[in-house]
Structure 1
Amino acid sequence: MKVAVWDTYVTRKDGKIMHFDILVDENTNDENEIFEFGKSYLKTVSQEGQPLTSKECRFCHIDRAPAEVENQIKENGFSIIEMENCN
């Protein structure tokens, strides 16, 4: 499966910038749906309510997904790769 990678930077409640990628099927192109996936992730790390718009989240590139990511996308519609300050 090929996935679209959306590069995302959100200011945490403590002011630090968290960096994560939202991965979706390459045919998913509704920005609002992708932002909702990001907001859903933010809830899981106690950062709900933080802004997540086209200012914080932008399409980056298409890539091939490993099996684990592919399974997450099939199950949830998206996968997250945590990069910086996500915990």
Structure 2
Amino acid sequence: MEIHVYDTYVKARDNHVMHFDVFIASKDGEQAIQYAKQWLASIGENDAVVSSKECRFCHTQQAQAEVIETIKRQGYFIYKMEGCPA
């Protein structure tokens, strides 16, 4: 399965920057933004600003089984990088 990767940088409540990728099945920037907001709300960052400025299409790649299963179950997968909670 090919997935589309949206590179995302968001400022947290305490002003540190969280860097994560949103993996989704369709190339849809608005959907990626909505999923980013949904995930941020789930970690208590409801007020984080996410727009096409913070969440941008990066590339398309083949997905691993774990990613595919998560996308099938919830619509997206978050790949956490710098500044994200464990």
Fold in common (TM above 0.5): yes
- Return the TM-score normalized by structure 1: 0.93
Residue identity in the other structure for 1:45: I
Q: State whether residues 13 and 47 of structure 2, in contact with CA within 8 Å, keep that contact through their aligned partners in structure 1.
A: no
Counterpart CA distance in 1 for 2:69 and 2:51 is 26
Counterpart CA distance in 2 for 1:45 and 1:82 is 12
Shift of 1:29: 2.7
Give deviations 1:36-68, integer Å, cap 9, x for gaps: 100010012111121100110100001111000
Residue identity in the other structure for 2:11: T
Q: Gapped runs of 5+ residues in structure 2?
A: none
1:7 counterpart = 2:1: no
- Return the TM-score normalized by structure 2: 0.94
Number of equivalenced pairs: 85
Q: Gapped runs of 5+ residues in structure 1?
A: none
Q: CA RMSD in A?
A: 0.8
Q: Give % identity.
A: 39
SS in structure 2 at match of 1:42: helix
Counterpart CA distance in 2 for 1:40 and 1:85 is 18
Runs of 4+ in 1 over 2 A off after TM superposition: none
